[in-house]
Chain A
Amino acid sequence: MRKKSTVSPYQTIWRWHFYAGLIFAPFLLILAVTGSIYLFAPQIEQQLYTKYYEVEAQGEKIPASEQISEVKRLHPDAVITKFTPGDSPERSSEIGISTNAGTSSVFIDPYTGKSLGELNSEDRIMDKVEEFHGELMAGTVGDRIVELAASWAVVLIVTGLFLWFPRKKDKLSGVLFPRFGKGKNTLRRDLHAVPAFWITAGMLFLVMTGLPWSGLWGTNFQNIFTNSRAGYPPSIWTGEAPQSVLKTKEIAEVPWAAENLVVPESALEGYTPVSINDVVNIAEREGIDPGYTVYIPQDKQGVYTLSAFPAKAQDEVTMHLDQYSGAVLADYRFDNYGPVGKMVALGITLHTGTQFGLINQLVCLFICLGIILVVMSGFYLWLKRKPKKEMGAPKAPSILKMKFFLLLMIALGILFPLVGLSLIVVGLLDLLVIKRIPSAKKFLSAE
């Protein structure tokens, strides 16, 4: 005879799902709404910035160096940080500058060499949406909150799946389809649980493909796999780029004579940096995707970095050039990524909806709308069930009495350190505060 356990984990898991859902609902809603908008950033920006983007193809493009000269003429004090040649004959060049007022882009018609206008980075509405999506416009703190919410979303998915899991055989209503004829309470529950099940895989996919971006989990994840040959090669996400070879020993032995003028010391150090035109030629020679950006070295040991992250992950390139010789110091394509790096790269283009174009965007939008529905219906479910003077959390035995669920939460707490950290904080709060205040204990149905 098997000994039957007296405590069912159902109530406890429900309780965890309840509190986690209630706390993270607002953040998941923000992520889903901002994500839905940012999915269509390419189309939206194309509409917003047509006057900066579109040029009429006519004759030959003028050299990159002259396009940059025009920007220097317009902004004598600006530092040129990057150069993005248009990815099609009808697209303008974009030159990134940095001034005391911040960073901005100057759009140049590559046929006439004239400026089409400037966009301050601060004014890019889609960048704001992305910042909201990635860090709630609150820097590192926001990044950690988003990561916390995303990590807890995994807990919600796991506990939710358990609660949803059919207990009666051969019954698909209430599992795969909502039950419309069984009263309002049943319908409300089904309108949360059934759609949630349908988009479970999608939700989990968006969470898991988004987490590699995060500041704590993502950085560690990238480091672990980069260091073990399985991830991205260094310098794409984490790790250092190679450095240009400085030949300091070559300082001219005989100082150059010059009509009582001081010859700048930097000029005597040997080599002059290769011109941007050479860099553009190298990009063409190496067959880099036309949507690339050249990052211009800002110090003596810096490198020119050619970076292309186009719609499809397979076309990605990160190439570092010695700024003095133009030698390719590193050339990382999709094929050079480790298996985990390839998965993450594909995950990112699928997450942002670029990999398969419009269909991809629509599928992601559908998942986002599903998340919005599930968050709202979950919240509504609580409002309808909530007693007046209590939170309405299910009363349940402590997790410490559940071997399996406890182990699962510990595993999730280790896998997602912010889940673990938040559990410690909540555990301490419970121990030191809630347990000592009877009214709080009653309100939260804490045992």
Chain B
Amino acid sequence: MKKKWNYINLIILSLMLGACSPNEDAAELYQQESPLQADITMPQAFSGDEPFRISLTQEGQKVDDANFVHFEIWKADGTFRLPMEEAEPAGDGTYTFNQKLNEDGLYYVKIHAGSNGSIIMPTKPFAVGELSKSDVEALNGMAPDESSHHEGHH
């Protein structure tokens, strides 16, 4: 009788130790999104002759029929701001715009793009010429501060 008891206990124990863990691919079993992805390529020089290039992909496919692709550029020190404008489709999933930037310093370019239910708004910092001390400090602060004043990090 007692042997039987122990045998049963062994079964229970082994069942318990065989506990399962979350499956890495479990997300594929549920509602999935198709996030849009953008790559922004900067021109070599900012004379306005060479364009900024935005290439869009979604689910591994190039996106030629985005609902919209807008861009805005501003200077970190707040002395320059280009309001939102439309980028031109250039085929092969890319969209371009030309912009001349004269002043040295740290700039940000922000893209607003939407396609097939996904909307994105990536921001990329870039340098024109040489950065100033305050530009480097702004970079240390990481997040682009779109408001005029700057607090914290003293």
- Residue ranges of A at the interface with B (Cβ–Cβ < 8 Å): 63, 65-66, 69-70, 72-73, 76, 216, 219-220, 223-224, 226-229, 233-235, 238-240, 242, 245, 247, 250, 252, 256-259, 261-264, 266-267, 270-275, 277-278, 282, 285, 322, 324-332, 336, 338, 400, 410, 413-414, 417, 420-421, 423-424, 427, 431
Task: For A267, give its contact among B15, B120, B142 (CB under 8 Å).
Answer: B142
Task: For B122, give its contact among A257, A325, A336 (CB under 8 Å).
Answer: A325
Chain B hits for A238, CB < 8 A: 22
Task: For A331, give its contact among B9, B31, B108, B143 (CB under 8 Å).
Answer: B31
B153→A72 contact, CB < 8 A: yes
For the complex formed, measure the closest distance between the CB of B36 and the CB atoms of chain A, giving whole angstroms: 6
Given the known A-B contacts A73-B152, A76-B153, are A328 and B35 also in contact in the complex, defined by CB atoms under 8 Å? yes
B99 within 8 A of A: no
Chain B residues 1 to 54 lying within 8 A of chain A, measured CB to CB, are 1-2, 4-5, 8-9, 12-13, 15-16, 19-24, 26-27, 29-33, 35-39
A227→B12 contact, CB < 8 A: no
Given the known A-B contacts A63-B147, A72-B152, A258-B135, are A266 and B142 also in contact in the complex, defined by CB atoms under 8 Å? yes
B124 within 8 A of A: yes
Given the known A-B contacts A417-B16, A424-B9, are A234 and B152 also in contact in the complex, defined by CB atoms under 8 Å? no
For the complex formed, measure the closest distance between the CB of A317 and the CB atoms of chain B, giving whole angstroms: 12
B139→A267 contact, CB < 8 A: yes
Chain B hits for A234, CB < 8 A: 22-23, 26-27, 30
A65-B146, A327-B36 given; 7 more Cβ-contact pairs under 8 Å: A70-B151, A72-B151, A239-B23, A272-B144, A274-B121, A325-B122, A421-B16
Give the B interface residue count (CB, 8 A). 57
B67 within 8 A of A: no
For the complex formed, measure the closest distance between the CB of B19 and the CB atoms of chain A, giving whole angstroms: 5
For the complex formed, measure the closest distance between the CB of B92 and the CB atoms of chain A, giving whole angstroms: 19
Given the known A-B contacts A226-B23, A325-B120, are A421 and B13 also in contact in the complex, defined by CB atoms under 8 Å? yes
B144→A275 contact, CB < 8 A: yes
Chain B hits for A285, CB < 8 A: 119
Task: For A259, give its contact among B2, B133, B146 (CB under 8 Å).
Answer: B133
With A and B bound together, what is the CA distance between A113 and B37 in angstroms? 35
Smallest Cβ-Cβ distance to A418: which chain B residue: B16
Smallest Cβ-Cβ distance to B36: which chain A residue: A327
B123 within 8 A of A: yes
For the complex formed, measure the closest distance between the CB of B154 and the CB atoms of chain A, giving whole angstroms: 7
Smallest Cβ-Cβ distance to A237: which chain B residue: B22
Chain A hits for B39, CB < 8 A: 247, 250
With A and B bound together, what is the CA distance between A282 and B112 in angstroms? 12
B85 within 8 A of A: no
Task: For A239, give its contact among B5, B27, B130 (CB under 8 Å).
Answer: B27
- Number of A-B residue pairs with CB-CB distance less than 8 Å in the complex they form: 183
Task: For A257, give its contact among B16, B118, B131, B143 (CB under 8 Å).
Answer: B131
Given the known A-B contacts A220-B19, A227-B22, A327-B35, are A264 and B119 also in contact in the complex, defined by CB atoms under 8 Å? no
Task: For B27, give its contact among A216, A233, A245, A400 (CB under 8 Å).
Answer: A233
Chain A hits for B84, CB < 8 A: none
Task: For A327, give its contact among B5, B9, B37, B144 (CB under 8 Å).
Answer: B37
Smallest Cβ-Cβ distance to B127: which chain A residue: A256
Chain B hits for A242, CB < 8 A: 27
Chain A hits for B120, CB < 8 A: 322, 325-327
A328→B27 contact, CB < 8 A: no
Chain A hits for B118, CB < 8 A: 327-328
B136 within 8 A of A: yes
Smallest Cβ-Cβ distance to B118: which chain A residue: A327
8 smallest CB-CB distances across A and B, nearest first, come from A327-B35, A258-B131, A72-B152, A233-B30, A239-B22, A420-B12, A417-B16, A267-B139
Given the known A-B contacts A266-B142, A417-B15, are A336 and B30 also in contact in the complex, defined by CB atoms under 8 Å? yes
B37→A332 contact, CB < 8 A: no
B26→A69 contact, CB < 8 A: no
Given the known A-B contacts A229-B30, A259-B133, A328-B35, are A272 and B108 also in contact in the complex, defined by CB atoms under 8 Å? yes
For the complex formed, measure the closest distance between the CB of B93 and the CB atoms of chain A, giving whole angstroms: 16
A226→B12 contact, CB < 8 A: no
Smallest Cβ-Cβ distance to B26: which chain A residue: A234
A65→B145 contact, CB < 8 A: yes
Q: List 21 A-B contacts (CB under 8 A).
A: A65-B143, A72-B151, A72-B153, A220-B19, A220-B20, A223-B23, A224-B20, A228-B29, A229-B30, A233-B27, A256-B127, A262-B136, A264-B139, A271-B124, A272-B123, A326-B121, A332-B30, A410-B8, A414-B15, A420-B13, A423-B9
Smallest Cβ-Cβ distance to B142: which chain A residue: A272
Smallest Cβ-Cβ distance to A409: which chain B residue: B8
B131→A259 contact, CB < 8 A: yes
Smallest Cβ-Cβ distance to B139: which chain A residue: A267
A229→B12 contact, CB < 8 A: no
With A and B bound together, what is the CA distance between A413 and B16 in angstroms? 10
A259→B33 contact, CB < 8 A: no
